[in-house]
Amino acid sequence: MTVQMQSRRQAAEVPAAGRPRRRRSSGLSRSGGMFLVLVAYAAPVLLVVSNSLKSDQEILDDPLGLPASPTLHNYTEAARTMYYLGAFWNTLVLTVTSVVVLCFFGSMTAYFLTRVRWRFNQVVFYLMIAAMLLPFQVLMIPMIKLLGSTGMLQQSWSIVYIYFATGVPLAVFMYAGFIRSIPREMDEAAMLDGCNRLQTFFRVVLPLLRPVTLTIAILDALWIWNDFLMPFLVLRRPEQRTLTLATLAFVQSHTTDYGPMMAALVLTVLPILVAYLFMQRHIVEGLTKGAVK
C-alpha cells in the first residue's frame, strides 16, 4: 500500500521534469520497436502476399521462401473467376449501406436507452446484451426459415435489414458505454436553450460520438465485408456475389487452390485497407476532439 502511494507520487512528479526532453527520442525508439513487433504480428499476412506470387506447387514445396520467379498468374486467374469488379461493387454497396444504417439507428437507440431512466428501456437494453451471447448456431436455421417464409431471402435489400437486426446490439452496447461518459449537464444545457430531445441528440451529442462511431463503423464494416453466410444464403446469382463468396470458391473439400485463393484474399483485403488508411486521418481528428471535452 505504501509502496503504491510512493510510486504514485514519484510518478506524478516525473512528467513535469522529464517531459520535454524525453519525448522525441522515446517516440522514435518506440516506433522502431513497434515496427519490429508489427513484422512479427503481420507475418501471416506477409506470408499470404508472398505465396500469392507463387505457383501452387511452389507453395507446397517451399511455403516460407520468397517467390523464386514472382508471377501475377494467380491474380489474373483470381480476378477472372471472381468477377472482381462486380463483386467489389456489390460488397461495397452492401457494406456501406449496412454500416450507415447501423450507426445511425444504433447511436439513437443507445442515447435513448441510457439517458431515459425507464424500466422498459432497461429491459430492451439487457435483452440486446443477452442476445450478443447467443451462439449463432441457435438462431441460424430458425432465422433462415423465418426469412425464407416471409420471402425476404428473395430480396437482396433484406440482407441489410438482417445485418441491422443482428448487428444493432453490439452498436448499442458500445455507444451506451461511451454516452455514459458524456456529462448529462451538456444535454440539460441544450434543453434549456430550447432544443428538443432530437435536436439535442443531433446537434450536441452526435458530434461527440464521432470516435466511437468510427470504431463501430470499422468493426461492422469488417464483419460485413467478410461475412460469408448471409450473402451465401441470399445473394445466389453470380452477378450478386460478394468478394468473400468469390474467394471461398477456391477452398474445396479435398483440395485447395492455394495460389488463386491467396491472390483473391489480397484483392479482397486491399480495398478495405485503403479505406482504413484514408479514414484514419478522420479517426485521429475525431479522437482528439473527443478527448478535448
Partner 1 sequence: MRRSWNNIGGFLVFAGPSTFAFLSITIVSFLAGLILTFTNWNGLSDDLSFVGLSNYAVAIADGQFWQSLGLTALYVVVVVVLANALAFALAYGLSGRIRFRGALRAGFFTPNLIGGVILGFIWYFIFSQGVVAVGAALGIDALATPWLASPTLAFWALVIATVWQVAGFLVVIYLAGLTTLPRDVLEAASIDGAGGWAWMRSVVLPLMRPTFTICVFLTIGRSFMTYDMNLTLTNGGPYGSTELVAMHVYQKAFVSQQFGTGQAEALVLFLIVAVISVLQVSVSRRREVDL
Partner 2 sequence: MLRKSSVLAAGLTMLLGACSAAGPSGDSSTAKDGAVKFTGFVGGPGILTQTQDAIKVFNKENPQYQMTFVQGQLNQAPYQQLLTMYASGNVPTIFVVDAGDVAKVADKVVDLSGEKWAQEEYPWARQQGAVDGKVLAAPQSATGIGLAFNRKLVEAAIGGAFDPTTIKTRSDLAALFAKIKAAGTAPVIVSPLPWLLAGQFLTKMYDAQGDDSARARFIAQLKAGTADLARDKVFNGLMDTFDLTLKYNLNAARPIAGTIDTDAKAFADGKAAFWFIGDYQWPQLQALGASPDGDGYGIMPVPVSDDPTDPWNQKVVATSSFMMAIDKTVNTPAQQDAAKAYLDWYVHSASGQDFMVNKTGGVPAYRNVTLQPSNPIGRMVAADLQKDRTYTPISGLPADHWNVLGDQMIKYMAGKIDRAGLAKAITAYWKTQK
User: Binding to partner 2 (CB under 8 A): which residues in 154-173?
Assistant: 154
> Among partner 2, partner 1, none, what binds residue 151 when CB lies within 5 to 8 Å by partner kind?
partner 2
From 37, 185, 192, 254, residue interacting with partner 1 (rule: CB under 8 A): 37
Q: Which stretch binds partner 2 (CB under 8 A): 109-117, 150-158, 193-201, 285-293?
A: 150-158
- Residue of the chain from 9, 237, 281, 293 that contacts partner 2 (CB under 8 A): 237
Task: Give the SS3 label for residue 256.
Answer: strand
Site for partner 2 in 74-133 (CB under 8 A): 81
Query: Comparing C-alpha atoms, which of 102, 101, 124 is closest to residue 113?
Result: 124
CA torsion sign for 100, 103, 107, 110 is positive
Asked whether the beta carbons of 209 and 179 are under 8 A apart, the reply is yes
Please state, in angstroms and rounded to a whole number, the distance separating the CA atoms of residues 279 and 257: 34
DSSP secondary structure letter of residue 66: P
By beta-carbon proximity to partner 2, the closer residue of 196 and 253 is: 253
x/- mask, partner 1, residues 255-274, rule CB under 8 A, reads -x-x--x---x---x--xx-
Contact 256, 250 (CB under 8 A): yes
Cα 208 to Cα 107: distance, rounded to the nearest angstrom: 11
Rounded-to-integer distance, Cα 205 and Cα 178, Å: 11
| Residue 44's binding partner out of partner 1, partner 2, none, with CB under 5 to 8 Å set by partner kind | partner 1
Number of residues that bind partner 1 (CB under 8 A): 109
Which window, 41-49, 104-112, 207-215, 228-236, contacts partner 2 (CB under 8 A)? 228-236
Looking at 6, 31, 122, 150, which residue binds partner 2 (CB under 8 A)?
150
